[in-house]
């Protein structure tokens, strides 16, 4: 059995390592992400994580365990993915300033024909930000590859006043939920081999 992470995210790789998973392979999904219209943010991340897991499963062994995830930030009904420009990053941060938003991560674990998909939701409270702070953070380059244009594990921690829920979910992988999902596939992370 090989554990395969269907992501090139350095944060997800780091979190799997923190969970004690050793020798896993990284095979990022490359297919186009197709989001059917009308999905809520939690349904969207579940659907995208499923698509990634199924893409990688097509080239994996029957005994391999595939882990796929997708994360979005939702401010009210507006879903914020990764910004495509500096202006879009600044606009996202302005929208989040002084507000509470929700980070959703969908996780799919797949082995052979068995597949489980779940999601985690964490509320994040941003302090009010000045225009100068927003531009300085955008200038750091950190927002450009992150949903919602910030990373809580980096300089983005200076923007966050508090959270309600799983901190690791905000980083892109709800590790406690994932550990419980893996257990259903016979992967026990706290048991000695």
What is the structure's pLDDT at 33? 83
Q: How far apart are CA 188 and CA 193, in angstroms?
A: 9
Residues serving a catalytic function are: 70
CATH 3.40.50.300 fits 3-183, yes or no: no
Q: Where are the alpha helices (DSSP H) in the chain?
A: 10-18, 41-57, 86-96, 131-139, 167-171, 175-183
pLDDT tens-digit readout, 11-61: 999 999 999 998 999 999 998 888 889 999 999 999 999 999 999 999 999
| pLDDT at position 192 over 60 | no
Q: pTM of the entire structure?
A: 0.92
**Virtual torsion, Cα 165, 171, 173, 177, nearest 10 deg:** -20
Where exactly are the structural domains of the chain?
3-183
pLDDT band at 190 (very low <50, low <70, confident <90, very high): confident
- The values of phi and psi at residue 112, to 5°, are 60, -125
6, 9, 18, 19, 84 from 14: Cα distances, Å: 14, 9, 6, 9, 25
* Average per-residue pLDDT for the chain: 94
pLDDT band at 140 (very low <50, low <70, confident <90, very high): very high
What is the structure's pLDDT at 75? 95
């Amino acid at each position: 059995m090989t554990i395969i992470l269907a992501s090139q995210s350095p944060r997800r790789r780091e979190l799997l390592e923190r969970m004690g998973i050793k020798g896993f392979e990284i095979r990022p999904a490359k297919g186009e992400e197709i989001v059917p219209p009308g999905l809520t943010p939690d349904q969207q991340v579940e659907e995208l994580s499923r698509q990634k897991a199924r893409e990688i499963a097509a080239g994996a062994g029957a005994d391999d365990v595939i882990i796929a995830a997708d994360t979005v930030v939702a401010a009210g009904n507006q879903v914020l993915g990764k910004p495509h420009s500096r202006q879009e990053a600044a606009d996202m941060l302005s929208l989040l300033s002084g507000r509470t938003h929700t980070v959703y991560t969908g996780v799919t674990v797949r082995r052979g024909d068995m597949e489980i998909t779940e999601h985690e939701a964490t509320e994040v409270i941003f302090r009010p930000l000045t225009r100068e702070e927003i531009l300085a953070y955008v200038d750091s380059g950190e927002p450009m590859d992150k949903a919602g244009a910030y990373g809580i594990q980096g300089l983005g921690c200076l923007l966050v006043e508090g959270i309600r829920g799983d901190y690791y979910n905000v980083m892109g992988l709800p590790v406690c939920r994932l550990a419980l999902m893996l257990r259903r596939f016979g992967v026990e992370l706290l048991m000695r081999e």
